[in-house]
Structure 1
């Protein structure tokens, strides 16, 4: 473990390079039976593929045009890479997957359960062999085969405006949720007209980012697997209970935006960058976006910093490191060779992970300079894969419970309850446990 001081100074993380994020793909799946392997062993990349990304801004600013140009320079027989940006990525791609025409390469939606991977995606290789080259492939593997490869690794925590926190006299990492709440109150009491913490309730998907602290609270890489073995994963001492309890408390104590129903994701980047928002719970992938927004508004990228979730075990902060969206190949694609070439080129040659202030998905990949300080301060955890034969157990229980932790609606409900007082925090956690127990009973775990 890294040596720690009780109240550690913040680590400021300036953005480096161009603002980029994960490329995904979607497009020219024809519905015909596959004619080429995903390994690319029997043919050279050629022809056309369609690439889909949820980062519409990178489509609009020409970033993907640069990627396509570089890819075609390496593979001159590739005639075209069509990039399609989708704003509601999860929702629209899920709908498109009801047909065969959901592209050649795409980021695997979170709604796809492990046992469904083979129905929609081409296997990219044996899990143990692919794991010799790439990290964090367990999430999109099933029965020894891997169906997705992440193109950047994130650490999970809280992005914040250091200038705002310093102005309020808060100059150290909060080590407990109570310290975190007190720090947010100090920011509110400083008289600055800002939201101490911004939920992004209206866009909803950012609320799923709170799950990134599962495992970090108790420094347990098996925490998610252990959730399948208990009827009460939401307690005052458990990761889920601490995380959702903090969300309830921060809303109930008036430490968020005044009206969560009017939040705006794109606007929130500029608001945090210019000091109108103090903090947001997001993965490290958000750092360059916030820094770029700060600079665009005339503020300093150096104001953007990153802290771990406010919890320690034996005096040490922990943060979960893992892959972002995983790129997979449509099982119906008629050009799997070129699709696989795009995935491997993106990981090895694009420089994407470094420009994202993210960890490389390559086993021997570098740590970007802007994250090195955070990594030195916090012990990183990689969550353990589910035991063989139980890859879908969590998802099955989650679905049967009706909670569906991948759906932000359940945390929107927590925000609603905290605002209205219709349920106490204790009642919220009790109801979640009851639903989870019902799901376990139904699944027969």
Structure 2
């Protein structure tokens, strides 16, 4: 069911308390019993030499017999996936998106049962298999839309739209009354288009949405999440409310465009708010110019937002210092402050609500945490969309949607949705026999 996040509660648990159940070591929760050199892989090349060095210093104060070395990787997904063909992929690493649930036990040390970890952490089901949990989220994200409020205000829009039609009207007002690009797709970089998928379960307030997709042949039919999500993208492009030439978009540049008020909105996870606020300040504006609005649809008079975990820290099953690696994972989640600093949802159940979601508090947004797949069907959704060759979490099918909407490819919205439904139905039949 949809729930509201509870904020303002101080973290009470410590990593030492959690280490009593640490797998693969037999060590006690006594910091003096935790020792060894560990390598921690990270995708944060931008802060590994600054913020992460502060983390290292604080962690090593608590665990003086552990020495932490970081390895920051630019092409994290590609390089780590290759390295996992060997035993050498660090002691602590972020579970790559290419790892399927049935592969978790091959590469990672179990951290405990799902039920045990759910007493402390959010998002535990997301990297679990057969009742065992293998990762702890570094932070959590909400789904929604990053907006430059000054741009919308200049167009006469002062409240978050409650329907897709209202949102399109707001974008049209920006086009008519300002010089800003109403909505930026980041088509060329591709991966930002996958952020639209983060809204699954949001328009219909349905925590069972991914399970529902596996049970129907037509996810792109009226009233379904994918119809609502992809219709909004299609209609915005078709009506000329996005960048003029999507082939020239640039992710790094787009942050400055939104921050400076040259772009009105981008559909991104809440992780992006902090970056856009910094971009606003770099452009001579204010972080207060940047807001975060929910997807423009309401159920029973309320906005909703699907929340999910970001990358999950995990222990390499081949690590020689698993207790020290586990100590880092728990300390990072409970004491580093990373999630709060990045404007994310705390991975701990009693963590604070981030200031970046202040607009959600004002709007009374209700949060949807997706129901895990039933036992034995953990990979069913993935199997269906891979067989259908519809990359829900990729960029190709939505790039084609944009191309059709802007007249660069044949078809229209109805024909493309019919094509997607047909592929989905065929894939379901093939996967389920």
Q: 1:143 aligns with which of 130, 136, 143?
A: 130
Whole-angstrom CA distance in 2 between matches of 1:69 and 1:395: 40
Report the alpha carbon displacement of residue 357 of structure 1 after superposing the two structures with TM.
2.0
Q: Could you say which residue in structure 2 is the equivalent of 1:435?
A: 423
Change (3 A) 1:84 1:258: farther
| TM-score, normalised with respect to structure 2 | 0.90
Equivalent in the alignment of 1:120: 107
Q: CA deviation at 1:85?
A: 2.3
- 1:39 and 1:340 in contact (8 A); partners too: no
Contact 1:228 1:440 in 2 (8 A): yes
Give deviations 1:117-157, integer Å, cap 9, x for gaps.
Answer: 11222211101111111111111111101111112122110
Partner of 2:70: 83
Aligned equivalents of 1:233, 1:390: Cα separation in 2: 18
* Corresponding position: 1:204 with 2:190: yes
> Is the 2:154–2:178 Cα contact (8 Å) retained in structure 1?
no
Provide the residue aligned with 1:158 in structure 2.
Answer: 145
**Aligned pair partner of 2:249 in 258, 263, 277:** 263
Residue from 45, 65, 71 that aligns with 1:56 = 45
Aligned length in residues: 408
**Is 2:24–2:109's contact at 8 Å kept on the other side of the alignment?**
no
Distance 2:242 2:85 in 1: 38
Which of the residues 303, 307, 310 maps onto 1:321? Answer: 307
What CA RMSD, in Å, does the superposition of the two structures yield over aligned residues?
A: 1.9
Say yes or no: does 1:245 pair with 2:231: yes
Correspondence for 1:330 among 316, 334, 339: 316
Report the equivalent of 1:20: none
Q: Contact 1:111/1:406 (CA < 8 Å) preserved in 2?
A: no
Q: Is the 8 A contact 1:321 1:381 kept in 2?
A: yes
1:40/1:341 contact within 8 Å kept: no
Partner SS, residue 144 of structure 2: strand
Q: Secondary structure at the match of 1:59?
A: coil
Confirm or deny: 8 A CA contact 1:45 1:75 kept in the other structure: yes
- Cα distance in 1 for partners of 2:278, 2:205 equals 32
Q: Give the CA deviation at 1:367.
A: 1.5
Verify: 1:401 aligned to 2:361, yes or no: no
Shift of 1:372: 4.2
Cα deviation for residue 421 of structure 1 reads 4.5
Which residue, 126, 130, 134 being the options, matches 2:121?
134
Write the distance in 1 (CA, Å) between the matches of 2:137 and 2:220: 29
TM value normalised by structure 1 = 0.87
- Name whichever of 421-430 and 337-346 sits farther off: 421-430
**Separation in 2, partners of 1:45, 1:247:** 51
Q: Partner residue of 1:224? A: 210
What residue number does 1:7 align with?
none
**2:224 corresponds to 1:235:** no
What's the offset of the Cα at 1:370?
Answer: 4.1
Q: Judging changes above 3 Å, is the alpha-carbon distance between structure 1 residues 410 and 333 closer, same or farther for their aligned structure 2 residues?
A: farther
Q: Deviations over 1:260-318 (max 9, x none)?
A: 22222122112111111111111111111111121122211000101000111122111
Q: Report the Cα distance in structure 1 between the residues aligned to 2:174 and 2:188, rounded to whole angstroms.
A: 23
Deviation of the 1:327 alpha carbon: 1.2
Tell me the distance in 2 between the aligned counterparts of 1:95 and 1:427.
Answer: 39
Give CA-to-partner distance per residue, 1:32-51, whole Å, 9 cap, x none. Answer: xxxxx746542733232222
Q: CA distance change for structure 1 residues 195 and 87 in 2, over 3 Å: closer, same or farther?
A: farther
**Does the 8 A contact of 1:197 with 1:257 survive in 2?**
yes
Deviation by residue 1:220-269 (Cα, 9 ceiling, x = unmatched)? 11011010011111112100111112112212222112222222212211
Q: Kindly tell me: are residues 201 and 91 of structure 1, through their superposed partners in 2, closer, same or farther at Cα, counting changes over 3 Å?
A: farther
Unaligned runs of 5+ in 2: 3-21
Q: In 2, distance between residues paired with 1:261 and 1:208?
A: 17
In structure 2, relative to structure 1, the CA distance for the partners of 1:431 and 1:344 (3 Å cut) is same
Equivalent residue runs for 1:18-33 within 5 Å: none
State the Cα distance separating 1:379 from its structure 2 match: 1.0
Distance across 1 between alignment mates of 2:245 and 2:79: 27
Where do 1:272-351 residues align within 5 Å? 272-351=258-337
The residue number in structure 2 matching 1:417 is 404
Distance in 2 separating the partners of 1:40 and 1:362: 24
Distance 1:59 1:186, change over 3 A: same
The 1-side partners of 2:45 and 2:403 are apart by 30
Aligned to 2:90: 103
Judge conservation of contact 2:163–2:296 (CA < 8 Å) in 1. yes
